[in-house]
Amino acid sequence: MSDKRILLIIGGGIAAYKSLELIRELSRRGIASRCIVTKGGQEFVTPLSVSALSGEKVFTELFDLDDEADMGHIQLSRSADLVVVCPATADLMAKAAGGLAGDLASTTLLATDKPVLMVPAMNVRMWEHAATQRNVETLRADGVEVMDPDEGAMACGEFGPGRLPEPMAIANRIEAKLSGGAVLYGLDSKPLAGRHVLVTAGPTREPLDPVRFLSNHSSGKQGYAIAGALAKAGARVTLVSGPVSVPVPQNVDLVPIETAREMLDACENALPADVFISVAAVADWRPSRAAAKKMKLKEGEGDPHPTLELSENPDILATLSRKKKRRPDLVIGFAAETHDVEDLAIAKLKRKRCDWIVANDVSGDVMGGAMNQVSLVTRQGIEDRWPRMTKEDVAVRLVARIVEEFDDESDQIAAQ
């Protein structure tokens, strides 16, 4: 990466301060940054701080005689290997989608002949607005890569998709684009060709009535990333997923479901499989009876605190682990815990009778976030503790470990 350079456009959002950490992380990897800071961006970070970290002059104005004479916005737009907009505000994306060129940032985006990566950050309502989604679709159709924002608490006090991904995740995406998107660990050689892998992802929804349900904060990102990595490794992938807003990876067969019982039926119908990976955050309980009509609270009438009777949902991981016929050769579960993570994962592996457990601490921003830190637990105990990394990198590393497991089995059979 020592010969790679990006042009970083810093937009006007409170997440702009994270661009400083991004510059530092890219520099650590040997990737140089030349920066444009918009007028709005200068309300959150100063050109001086950006220049100090990047070691380069910072550009702010389109009509600057010195800058135009020295470099010019045309040369600036083509002097890097990749143009990165971070944070990409709703306004900046709208200008780029519409082909406007009223300031240095939008003019540079219109004039560049280099790949463009946009990293959105905005209020959840702004992100979900139909106009913003139209602009995202337009940009992607024009060849611009738009990262999905993270989901979580925002500075405005609201919760949902719209948070800027962590700088480490952005740096990983930048490095992947600069290296041509090469798959790590040799997975591009299709080592899982001929294998069928069944993956579950996302939350389940257990209806209380026609409009309410019990669920959780699972975004499905980790499960979808694993499904995508498996497909790139050549596997035939069946992805059984609860309701999420994550794009389906290429060459993955999606089976959408809502409830835990529907997920179990879909998994059993998808067998036989060589590997089963239970990533989904399945609801342990469901209402014993779902109301046929929306439940109402009439003022002055009835019980203001109705009792909710629950029934236990089927245990999908345990059910597939204990199958006598058509059991997958390798059954992998996920243990999302908020405390005593590894101890509880070891106990879960024994209780469910699966082969591996991927243990992760979800007490922070893992659910909905871009990063994850996991430990791999096998029947022999804790095999490895992986560093904090993106969910995509966790997926690739897990798939590489699966490939290694099958290679070891093949070697043992050949030796007999």
Domains with residue ranges and CATH for the chain:
5-178 (3.40.50.1950), 184-289+308-415 (3.40.50.10300)
Which residue is it, tokens 């737009």?
Answer: 77
Answer whether 0.85 is exceeded by the pTM.
Answer: no
Is residue 110 a contact partner of residue 148, using CB atoms and an 8 Å limit? no
Q: What is the CB neighbour count within 10 angstroms for residue 24?
A: 14
The first and second tokens of residue 8, run together, are 């970083």
pLDDT surpassing 50 at residue 154: yes
Can you give the pLDDT at residue 295?
A: 81
Can you give the pLDDT at residue 191?
A: 92
pLDDT, average across residues 82-86? 97
Can you give the pLDDT at residue 300?
A: 56
What lies within 8 Å, CB to CB, of 232 at 6+ separation is: 183, 187, 188
CA distance 167 to 118: 13
Nearest to 398 by CA among 347, 330, 346: 330
The first and second tokens of residue 60, run together, are 């702010």
Chain segment 393-407, per-residue pLDDT in tens? 889 889 989 999 998
Can you say whether the dihedral through the CA atoms of 320, 321, 325, 329 is positive or negative? Answer: positive
What lies within 8 Å, CB to CB, of 320 at 6+ separation is: 267, 268, 271, 276, 278, 327, 328, 331
pLDDT, average across residues 219-225? 95
DSSP 43: G
The first and second tokens of residue 88, run together, are 């990409």
Chain segment 336-378, per-residue pLDDT in tens? 888 899 999 999 999 999 999 999 888 766 676 777 889 999 9
Average model confidence (pLDDT) across the chain: 89
Can you give the pLDDT at residue 415?
A: 59
Produce one character per residue of 387-414: b if its CB has 16 or more CB atoms within 10 Å, e if not: eebbbbbbbbbbbbbbbebbeeeeeeee
pLDDT surpassing 80 at residue 155: no
Q: What are phi and psi of 25, to 5 degrees?
A: -65, -40
Q: What's the length of the chain?
A: 416
CA distance 269 to 250: 22
Nearest to 212 by CA among 312, 295, 311: 295
Alpha carbons within 13 angstroms on the beta-carbon side of residue 312 total 3
238 pLDDT band, cuts 50/70/90, is very high
pLDDT surpassing 60 at residue 302: no
324 or 177: which carries more pLDDT confidence? 324
Q: Is 156 a catalytic residue?
A: yes
pLDDT, average across residues 46-60? 95
CA distance 274 to 276: 7
388 pLDDT band, cuts 50/70/90, is confident
Q: What percent of the chain has pLDDT over 90?
A: 65
pLDDT, average across residues 174-198? 76
Q: What percent of the chain has pLDDT over 70?
A: 90
pLDDT surpassing 70 at residue 110: yes
Can you give the pLDDT at residue 70?
A: 52
158: amino acid identity, one letter: E
Which residue is it, tokens 């601490």?
Answer: 361
Can you give the pLDDT at residue 82?
A: 95
pLDDT, average across residues 63-73? 60
CA distance 309 to 312: 10
Catalytic residue selected from 35, 86, 156, 267: 156
The long-range contacts involving 243-246, CB below 8 angstroms and separated by at least 24 positions, are 243/202, 243/203, 243/205, 244/201, 244/202, 244/203, 244/218, 244/219, 244/220, 245/161, 245/219, 246/148, 246/202, 246/219, 246/220, 246/221
pLDDT surpassing 50 at residue 43: yes
CA distance 165 to 201: 20
130 pLDDT band, cuts 50/70/90, is very high
pLDDT surpassing 50 at residue 182: no
Can you give the pLDDT at residue 183?
A: 40
| 330 beta partners | 275
